[in-house]
Amino acid sequence: MPTASFNGYYVQASYILTGQSRNFKPKIGEFHYLKDIGPGGAWEVALRYDRLNMNDAKAGIYGGRGSNITAGINWYANEHVRLMLDYSHAHLGDIPTSAPAGASYVNSPLYNTDLNILQFRGQFLF
């Protein structure tokens, strides 16, 4: 059986409206937390796009494709507390709905859908 190969990527950008900055640690691939947060907290806007392809015809795997765009706003109450509000629009597609026994997924009807997601999260750093 051949080895399956999938691919995906994302692009993300954010901007801190209240002027703070965040350092990036390339050796561990991590952003450092915000410092110098004033009494009103810090505000950040963010945008992210990602895409994933889980189809590999050579390996006979048809897991579908997906893409997602997310816009969010983050409020840092202090160095340890962050509240996040995100809106995402996702598209899932090319997912086989069924295939008769012994038949190829290639000729199966495909499932496609769009999702809209509103998400609120809280984070505590200790």
Cα 79–chain centre separation: 24
- Cα 12 from Cα 24, distance rounded (Å): 14
Say if pTM beats, i.e. exceeds, 0.85: no
Cα torsion 95, 100, 104, 107 to 10°: value is -60
User: Residue 64 in contact with residue 55, Cβ under 8 Å?
Assistant: yes
Indicate the pairing of strand 61-76 with strand 81-96.
antiparallel
pLDDT tens, residue by residue, 107-121: 556 677 899 999 999
Where do the domains of the chain lie?
7-124
pLDDT tens, residue by residue, 37-89: 989 999 999 999 999 998 887 887 778 889 999 999 999 999 899 999 999 99
